[in-house]
Structures are given as structure tokens and as C-alpha cells.
Amino acid sequence: MTREVAIVGAGIVGLACAHHCLAAGRRVRLIERGGVAEGASLGNAGALAFTDVLPLASPGILRRAPGWVLDPLGPLAIPPAYLPRIAPWLLRFWRASLPDRHRHALRVQAGLMRLSANAMAAMVEAAGLAGRLRRDGNLELYESEAELAAAEPGWAARAREGIAFEHVRGARLAALQPGLSPRLVAGTFTPNWMTVDDPHRFALALHADVMAKGAALTKGEVTAIAPAGEGVRLTLADGTVLDAEACVLAAGAWSRGLARRLGDRIPLDTERGYNTTLPPGAFPVRRQLTFGGHGFVVTPLATGLRVGGAVELGGLHRPPNFARADAMLRKAAAFLPGLDTAGGRQWMGFRPSLPDSLPVIGPSRASPRVIYAFGHGHLGLTQSAGTGRIVADLLAGRTPAPEVAALRAGRFG
């Protein structure tokens, strides 16, 4: 049995797992069905959102969701034909939004964010990626004082976790982001929010670093993972068989089927995210802007201005509905008068989402040598380094941070 760890998936989570396994002295083989970092890592919003501790499953979102769902271009949409398939997931989402479960998920998420912030800082330093980080903060914007008041419970929860923020209006708001529409009357500035220069470039730079440190890459689709003696055997679609000491399943939205063959029925579904990346200079955005009431963000990247977000629960196989990207771009133009919307590149990607807004990180039912690392929703980049550290600890037999027990696959029964 070869003494290496096979990591299924070369997106940002798989690459961070590779980084931490290499740092622990293990040999690493990445196995990727497509191109490196060409899934959700290719077109996400680029945020290191360590202050984003509020689970999507919350009492507040349930009050707003019915109106959103009825709007096919709104912040949260479900194609009617997909409703029967997503119904069990929605039931679990509703249960996760109950107050006691929401509070539990928030505590776990906050702990994972603290771990991830520390792990990211160390990974960035070790991989020479510090120049790719921007520390400009995030500005969440509101169209009314009532909208800000409705957000106050969430900010109070963040305050209890020690997260710094500042509610701003008037001249202070204008100084943080000049040129806003007068429709935007207030904002909340989160100074410790960070972004990367471009999420795909960031992931490719991490990939180059792990390859330089000895990782190997195999192109192919893994169709089966199974315990084999003192290790793990992986079978690829072309019939290739690979043996490894251990395996990490970090295949994002494509992880569900492989986990099921290992005996774990995990309610993983897909948040389909859309964006448009405008050419550099489309608008002088100073930091990431969040339009929470409309479910999208605007991020200045080295490669252009990215307008995207929203949630479409529609699975892996439906064709893209780029009218959603168009709708966000129109809203952005209304909130940022003078925004040049010409020349944009549209994108749709799959965020692997679990109904309690927490990832699955931990051993499979079949073997402790198969570790799951997927289901991060829109926080894959943010939680990648923390996930990699947890995975390396589990493979080494070390006890990870306490909150990890709440991320086990068995929590779904």
C-alpha cells in the first residue's frame, strides 16, 4: 500500500487539505475530474468572510424566503420542477432554522471561523500568498432605516462573538464608498473582512505551491472509494485503480454520490451561484459591497468588477438561467449610478450546500481512513484552510478543535 493521501477534488478546499497534509510530512496525490480550481473556486466572490458567522438557515430568512421563492430572479429561487427533489432538504433547512438549532449552528460556525482565520493566515504565509490578500473590509448597504433595524439581531449576535463592525450614515458612508445612489441611506462596515485579488488566481497559486512541495496530480473522475486492507482503494471512470493510505473526499457538489456508496446518506444539494465580471474600471468600488436585501455582492478584483451571488436551489443538471445574472447587474447599476455594464463575462457555479449551513468534516462511516471535507456552501474559500488543518489532525490521530464533533457526517442520521 502506497504511503500517500489521495485527495479527491482540486478546488480550494482540496488544495488547502493538500497544503496541510504536505506540511505534516505526508505524500499527497490530488485527483481532479476537470481543471484545477475550475468549479466554485473559479468564479466565487473572493471573500475571506471570517465575520460571516450567521447560518443561512435562520428564523429571519424563513419570513423572507416565501416572497423570494416566488420571484424567479430573486435572491433565493427554486425552479418549480425541482421542488419535489429539494423538498426533503427544505424540511431539514426549516428544522435547522428553529431558534435552538440556529444558536447551536452559529456557535459552531463562529468556532470554525476563528480556526479558519488563524489557519488561513499561516497557510498564506507559508505558501507566499500574502500579496494576494486585500484588507479593505466589507460594507453592507441598506435602503432604509427599517432594513438596518431588521438586521440588528444578526449584528448583535456577531458582537457577542467579538466581531467588530460600525453602522455608518451620511459623510462616513460616502467616504467608505463614494458614488452610491441616494436610495442607500445606511451601511454597516466590517473592517476585518478580507478578499483575495482573484479567487481563481489565488487557488492556482496555492496549487503551484503544493506541486512544488511534492504533490502529484491525476486527472480523472473517481467513481468509487472503498476501504482496502490497511488503506483505501479508489477506482476511476477509465478503470484505473489507485491505492492510498488514506483518502480525503473534497469534491464539492459532486461528493454526495461517493459518500453514499460509503454508507453515508448526506443531504447535500447545490446552491447555483451566478455572477457577471465587468472589465476593470467599470466603477471605482473601494471594497466589497454587500446588498443583503437583494442577495448579491460587488467585489473589486484584479481581473475586474464581479457582481454576483444569490441562491438558486436547482441541482447539478439544469441549464443555467443567466437572467439571474442580468437581474443582479441591473440592480447594481441602480445602486451604483454610472456603473458601466458593458463587456461583462457571465458565470454560473455550484456551491455544495447542506441544510444546516455547516460543512461535513470528519471520517466516513466505512473507514476512519476516508475523511470528508465538503458542503461549505458559499464559504469554501473562507473555511478552506481551517478545513485543511482539521483534516490533517484527523489523519494524524490528533484531537481537532472541539467544534469539529458537530461537523460529523452522522449528524444527519
pLDDT classification of 401: cutoffs 50, 70, 90? confident
Residue in the block written with cell 500574502: 130
Q: Which three cell numbers stand for residue 123?
A: 497557510
pLDDT classification of 66: cutoffs 50, 70, 90? low
CA dist., res. 187 & res. 170, Å (int): 10
**H/E segment holding residue 157:** helix 145-160
b/e sequence 119-137, b meaning 16+ C-beta within 10 Å: bbeebbeebebeebbbebb
pLDDT classification of 79: cutoffs 50, 70, 90? confident
Give the tens place of pLDDT for each residue, 39-52.
999 999 999 999 99
Give the tens place of pLDDT for each residue, 356-385.
999 999 999 999 999 999 999 999 999 999
Give the tens place of pLDDT for each residue, 160-211.
999 999 999 999 999 999 999 999 999 999 999 999 999 999 999 999 999 9
**Mean pLDDT of all residues in 236-251:** 97
* Amino acid at site 349: G
Phi-psi region of 273 (alpha: psi -120 to 50; beta: other; left: phi over 0): beta
pLDDT at residue 70, as a whole number: 65
Question: Is residue 402's pLDDT more than 90?
Answer: no
CA dist., res. 165 & res. 135, Å (int): 14
**Mean pLDDT of all residues in 320-324:** 93
Give the tens place of pLDDT for each residue, 121-148.
999 999 999 999 999 999 999 999 999 9
**pTM of the prediction?**
0.96
Percent of the chain with pLDDT over 70: 96
CA dist., res. 98 & res. 244, Å (int): 42
Residue in the block written with cell 424566503: 65
Instruction: Give me the domains of the chain, ranges plus CATH numbers.
Output: 4-42+201-267+357-412 (3.50.50.60), 58-111+129-192+273-352 (3.30.9.10)
Whether residue 58 contacts residue 102, with contact meaning beta carbons closer than 8 Å, is answered with: yes
pLDDT classification of 1: cutoffs 50, 70, 90? very low
**Mean pLDDT of all residues in 403-408:** 86
CA dist., res. 268 & res. 391, Å (int): 19
Question: Is residue 278's pLDDT more than 60?
Answer: yes
Region of poorest pLDDT, from 243-252, 256-265, 304-313: 304-313
Residue 248 three-state SS: strand
**Mean pLDDT of all residues in 245-261:** 97
Question: Is residue 224's pLDDT more than 50?
Answer: yes
